[in-house]
Amino acid sequence: MNNETDLNLLTEKIKAQAVYPKLLTFSAFMELALYHPKWGYYSTPQQKIGKRGDYYTSPFVHPAFGEVIANAVLSCCEALGAPVFEIVEIGAGSGLLAGDVLDSIKGKSLGVYEKTKYTVIEKSPIFSRELGALRSLHGDKISVIQEPDALGAGVVTGVFLSNELLDSLPFHRAVWEGGSVREIYVTCRDGELTEIISEPSTPELAGYFEGYDVSPPDGAEVEINLLAGKWMSSVARALKRGFVLTIDYGHLAAELFSPERRKGTMRCFSKHTLNESPYDNIGSQDITAHVDFSNLIRHGDRCGLKTLMYTTQGQFLVDFGVLDILERYAAHKTLGEVEKGKNIAAIKTLFLPSMMGNRFRVLLQSKDIDINPEELYPPSPLKLSPGEVT
């Protein structure tokens, strides 16, 4: 945050709401720290993504990521055969991925591009202002709204897309004790934010694990994201016919809540440095946790979404053509050797298991379309080793 006074104001506001014995759920604390309309992390102007920001996302690594997403979108469009095709990207940030996807679709299939509408859902006022450049390039194809519910029910035929969105939704934190959960709250004592463990604020926290075959050890900390399931329900409600493509770092429940992760997955990012101190630098650092993809799948099942694919980002990129892009750059005749090497290294970062390829997972779901995954894409003969997943 550029203005330390603003940082102090946000911290003091949180403390005022959590003076003992008043308690804030961690979800409520996180909502203020990240999304307060004036002082929250995503409402302030400092750069967040890229070399001068706090972290990298795949679109910032190389435009090959957006080109592969465009390949997947084109396959979805062909399968739907709709006269008008809509892409809805939730949490689009500055619009970098949207621009790469639209540019690639335009270059690969002008016919699909001409019938494509791209809706950006972005609640951050800072990011929303940055979308002006995207509109200047693609005109009235781009529309911007703040919430999925603003779309209405059953209005989208096409693809819902999100990349690294769900990990930043406010989540509850809890401790596993004797086969049940006790919630971790935020409170303020002697002018300092601290944590206290008490009864759950909602029965939804205990109900979250119903049907899960998980057994974290006593004392294990877990993150419970109640908003992720509601998000999936709102997406399914707005989708009339088509696909939901979700990319984020996370795991299925059995792995996410395993004994190996007894300290949970809550992390903070600032200037490309990882820490586990959410009560430091409030408003100037990101707070995240791994996504529970089992939760997304079960909510999708309840809302009429069929799971077509759950895989690593690396395998997804390979299946949808990243190796062709890699070969194209390797054979590029106008790039110098140094520039060619930089492009090749960046593309490999996206899909190699030892880099971003295994850190991220991809979930592809469909609604009201009878299709097998093999019909949507030709699986690559190259099967990436899962390797070490952290």
- In a domain, residue 384? The reply is no
How many distinct structural domains can be found in the chain? 1
Instruction: Give the residue carrying structure tokens 């990349």.
Output: 163
- In a domain, residue 291? The reply is yes
Whole-number percent of the chain with pLDDT over 70: 93
The CATH number covering residue 124 comes to 3.40.50.12710
Reported as a single tens digit per residue, the pLDDT across 303-333 is 999 999 999 999 999 999 999 999 999 989 8
**Average confidence score pLDDT of the chain:** 90
Whole-number percent of the chain with pLDDT over 90: 68
Asked if the model's pLDDT at residue 143 lies above 70, the reply is: yes
- In a domain, residue 372? The reply is no
Answer yes or no: pTM beyond 0.85.
yes
Supply the range of the domain harboring residue 12.
4-366
- In a domain, residue 15? The reply is yes
Q: Helix or strand or coil: residue 55?
A: strand
- In a domain, residue 390? The reply is no
Neighbour count for residue 50 (Cβ, 10 Å): 16
- In a domain, residue 387? The reply is no
- In a domain, residue 376? The reply is no
**What number is the average pLDDT over the span 377-386?**
72
- In a domain, residue 382? The reply is no
- For the purposes of burial, counting CB atoms within 10 Å of the CB of 319, is it exposed (0-12), middle (13-18) or buried (19 or more)? buried
CA distances from 285 to 30, 40, 119, 289, 307 (A): 11, 9, 28, 14, 34
